[in-house]
Amino acid sequence: MPIWKRAYSQSITSQFRLAFVVVIIATTIAAGIPAYLIIRSELQQQAWSRLADGSQITRTLLGNEQDRLVDLGNLTSQRPTLRKYMIKGSTERLREYLRVYQSSVDLDILFAYDADCHPLTLDSSPNLCMDLLVSSQRSSLEVLDTEPRLVSVVHQQVFDDINNQLLGYVTLGVYLDDEFVSQLASASGFIQSVMLDGRRVASSMPSLPETVQFEGHGGAEDANIPLQTGFTLAGIHYQGALSHLDSRDDGITAYIETALSVESMVSAESRGLLIMLISTFVVIVVSSLLAGEYARKLTAPLLLLTSAATNISEGNLSTPVPCPEQPSEIATLAQAFEESRNNLGTMLEDLTQEKAWSEALIHSIVEGIVTMDSHGQITSFSQGAERITGCSQEDALNEPLDVIFVVPEGAPKFSDQLPHPGGMQQIEIVTHDGHQKTLSVTNAELVQKDHDASESALVLRDITEKGAVRNFRSYFLANISHEFLTPLSAISAPVELLLDELDDLSKDDISKLLNSIHMSVTGLQALIDNLLESMSIEAGRFKIRRRHTDLNDIITDAVHMMQPLLDRRKQELHLNIKGQIPEVRVDPTRLTQVLVNLLSNASKYSPLSAPVHLTLEHGLDDVLRVSVSDRGPGIPPKDREDVFRRFVRLEAHDEAHYGVGLGLSVVKAIIEEHGGEVGVEGRPDGGSIFWFELPCGGGPG
């Protein structure tokens, strides 16, 4: 899209048109929506008033039916024939009498019980009698069947008139089923339903939904105020009111629903809303066209200024800004714009010089940059400073210098160790993740223009690694002589003994001396191999020569070299091979060196007579995993990443454990050159497991 079109699409014309649309919509909402809501509220109020009247009529009809049952119950309990059969205990005659009597008085249930609530009729429910007797209620709503089925019951006592003795009880009831609510609907003129635990169990319209959807309430806290419901049937909307049906306190929750069709009200609401939306849309379209045309003519000169602003934003400060004569406001704006262009060019030259100076300053500092005010509060914190301290810029800004730069316990505060401006000082700090580092700190004083207060800039360089390397090399030079002298001394003594007393030595003595010499030569060879490999790795000339090799041959060579050391320390080597080990494409000499280093470490750091385990496993991903397990002191999790670095050696628990920290770094370099991985993990029952994984194909290259 051309620049002028992009600018026009975001110009005042669009905003002017949008303002017109917003005003029209706001006017429509302010005038139409309240009227629509008033009409809608009135229609709903009328419907709800009708429902309230219908609900009252329904409750009256239900009350009349309940009164009829109560009267019928009193009449039934006083019938002489009933009393006679109950006194004589004539159960069969009683049942026949009640059956005939039930059909004559239009009852759904008629149960008889003795004084202990034992049923005298076949279909009587003893639980119902006991529940009604305990509740001391003579009329209530009950659920008699497994399927939810509501029944209005009346419970009456039957007495002997002669001695006023309790003969038993009779229970009369009418099911509130579809037939009952249909009669109720005919009498009231409304759709009627019975609700039980949130479900319609009986209705004058059998096709109504079983579940009830509440649309609102008219005061659910008061049982005398109906709840509002709503449903849609065959595309017709209905509104209903739920009235609570009285029942026992520990009984059921039941409602009678009175409903009527509100389709005419919904249609009226929809038509009113549609008319309002259509009229609003037409007015918006016409007004937008008129507003757009008017705004285009009014703001046409601004397009020239927009194009000039675009040129300036793209760095073109050489093209003058056009200055139209009319309207006067825009002409004034164009002149001010032209002056701003000239001033901006001048300022840009100054900023370019300042930027060059700032970049030169930043590039002259290798690591982190921290600035602070005269009160020691940090005002800026570079990414280099974040990396060194482990503290984010958000946490460091406006904090005191000594809060962010923590020194080791007992050392002077960081701010007290700062060098004078222009000086340099080495300071020890403790980072936020607990590591100790050595920083080379340079201090410079910054004086800002137009500001009386000055700031200081600290240049931080992390020299921890250099110090560590220097210490490691000192440690290496101090210990390498010992590492060479130990095997040489172990060779010299047996050789002198062989030279001086060869004729007097037995064959076993000579064999022991030769084994000692062989073990010392093997250790010396391993040390020299590690030194040479370490030097080639550091020089970048480390290479491997792959060829297809049987892994059993490599293991045999490594075990043969390590057997004297294992025998000397009375340690058994347990070899565990899981699965079929395929032929691998590796450098056999280097891989033998890896196994020798791992077995040597496992032997030296394990107690005497402790076994060493060597496990080989061919994984599902065609990966060969080799692990060496020892019974040593183990490696803390925080040291497991560093143990494969050069010149890193665990603290020895026995003076016989020695080394210069090269073996594992060589192992890591050889395995990674083969395209594999190396690691260490803790052993559940104590010790460490050093492992490496190699692709059976030999990896890349």
Using the structure block, give the residue that is written with the tokens 């038993």.
168
Q: What is the mean predicted confidence (pLDDT) over 78-93?
A: 86
Measured over all CA atoms, what is the biggest interatomic distance in the chain, rounded to whole angstroms? 141
Distances (CA, A) of 1 to 5, 313, 644: 7, 17, 59
What does the alpha-carbon distance between residue 212 and residue 229 come to, in Å, rounded to a whole number?
A: 7
Distances (CA, A) of 126 to 73, 146, 171, 345, 435: 18, 15, 11, 103, 81
At position 669, the amino acid (one-letter code) is A
What digits encode the pLDDT tens for the residues 187-203?
888 888 888 777 888 88
Task: Answer whether 169's CB lies under 8 Å from 113's CB.
Answer: yes
Q: What is the mean predicted confidence (pLDDT) over 267-292?
A: 78
pLDDT of residue 147: 62
pLDDT of residue 206: 75
Answer yes or no: is pLDDT of 220 > 50. no
Q: How many CB atoms lie within 10 A of CB 266?
A: 16
What string of DSSP letters covers 136-173? T-SEEEEE-SSS--EEEEEEEEEEETTTTEEEEEEEEE
Answer yes or no: is pLDDT of 648 > 80. no
What digits encode the pLDDT tens for the residues 231-240?
777 778 888 8
**Top-confidence residue, 162 or 327:** 162
Q: How many CB atoms lie within 10 A of CB 5?
A: 8
What does the alpha-carbon distance between residue 211 and residue 231 come to, in Å, rounded to a whole number?
A: 10
Q: Which one, of 651, 685, 648, 675, lies nearest residue 664 by Cα? A: 648
Q: Is 521 helix (H, G, I), strand (E, B) or coil?
A: helix
What digits encode the pLDDT tens for the residues 308-340?
777 776 667 667 776 766 666 777 777 777 777
Answer yes or no: is pLDDT of 656 > 70. no
What sections of 382-432 are H helices per DSSP? 383-389, 393-396, 401-404
Query: Where is average pLDDT lowest: 118-122, 468-472, 527-531, 632-636?
Result: 468-472
Task: Answer whether 581's CB lies under 8 Å from 624's CB.
Answer: yes
Distances (CA, A) of 355 to 348, 350, 362, 385: 10, 9, 10, 21
Using the structure block, give the residue that is written with the tokens 């309230």.
52
**Top-confidence residue, 112 or 135:** 112
Q: Which one, of 199, 200, 182, lies nearest residue 191 by Cα? A: 182
What does the alpha-carbon distance between residue 69 and residue 59 come to, in Å, rounded to a whole number?
A: 15
Query: Where is average pLDDT lowest: 9-13, 399-403, 495-499, 599-603?
Result: 9-13
pLDDT of residue 537: 64
Answer yes or no: is pLDDT of 125 > 80. no
Extended beta strands in 287-401, E state: 368-372, 378-381
Terminal-to-terminal C-alpha distance of the chain: 51
pLDDT of residue 146: 54
Q: What percent of the chain has pLDDT over 90?
A: 5
Please return the burial class of 502, using the count of CB atoms within 10 Å of its CB with bins 0-12, 13-18 and 19+: exposed
Query: Where is average pLDDT lowest: 177-186, 537-546, 555-564, 645-654?
Result: 645-654
Answer yes or no: is pLDDT of 94 > 50. yes
**Top-confidence residue, 489 or 261:** 261
Fold of 537-695: Heat Shock Protein 90 (3.30.565)
State in words which class domain 365-462 has.
alpha beta
Instruction: For 691, list phi and psi in degrees, rounded to 5.
Output: -135, 155
What does the alpha-carbon distance between residue 440 and residue 466 come to, in Å, rounded to a whole number?
A: 11
Instruction: Copy the structure tokens of residue 107.
Output: 């009852």
pTM of the model: 0.38
Task: Answer whether 565's CB lies under 8 Å from 600's CB.
Answer: yes
What digits encode the pLDDT tens for the residues 607-633?
999 999 999 998 777 889 999 999 988
Q: Which residues of 413-427 are buried (b: 16+ CB within 10 A; e: fewer)?
A: ebeebbeeeeeeeeb
Q: For residue 700, what pLDDT band results from cuts at 50, 70 and 90? A: low
Task: Answer whether 180's CB lies under 8 Å from 174's CB.
Answer: yes
**Top-confidence residue, 447 or 455:** 455
Answer yes or no: is pLDDT of 538 > 50. yes
419 cis-preceded (ω within 30 degrees of 0): no
Q: For residue 536, what pLDDT band results from cuts at 50, 70 and 90? A: low
Instruction: For 223, list phi and psi in degrees, rounded to 5.
Output: -65, -20
pLDDT of residue 574: 92
Q: For residue 475, what pLDDT band results from cuts at 50, 70 and 90? A: low
pLDDT of residue 688: 92
497 Cβ contact partners less than 8 Å away, ≥ 6 residues apart:
505, 513
272 Cβ contact partners less than 8 Å away, ≥ 6 residues apart:
36, 39, 40
Q: What is the mean predicted confidence (pLDDT) over 178-186?
A: 87
Task: Answer whether 193's CB lies under 8 Å from 257's CB.
Answer: yes
State in words which class domain 78-175 has.
alpha beta
What digits encode the pLDDT tens for the residues 8-57?
455 566 776 677 778 777 877 777 778 777 877 777 788 788 888 888 88
Helix (H) or strand (E) holding 412: none
What does the alpha-carbon distance between residue 223 and residue 662 come to, in Å, rounded to a whole number?
A: 87
What string of DSSP letters covers 628-653? EE--SS---GGGTTGGGSTT--PPPS
Task: Answer whether 673's CB lies under 8 Å from 700's CB.
Answer: no
- Report the mean per-residue pLDDT for the chain: 78
Same fold, 78-175 and 365-462: yes
**Top-confidence residue, 576 or 263:** 576
Cα 475–chain centre separation: 48
Q: For residue 447, what pLDDT band results from cuts at 50, 70 and 90? A: low
pLDDT of residue 597: 86
Q: What is the mean predicted confidence (pLDDT) over 154-170?
A: 86
At position 493, the amino acid (one-letter code) is A
291 Cβ contact partners less than 8 Å away, ≥ 6 residues apart:
16, 17, 19, 20
Strand 150-160 relative to strand 584-586: parallel, antiparallel, unpaired?
unpaired
Answer yes or no: is pLDDT of 284 > 70. yes
Cα 251–chain centre separation: 45
Q: What is the mean predicted confidence (pLDDT) over 353-362?
A: 66
**Structural domain boundaries of the chain?**
78-175, 365-462, 469-525, 537-695
Task: Answer whether 322's CB lies under 8 Å from 55's CB.
Answer: no
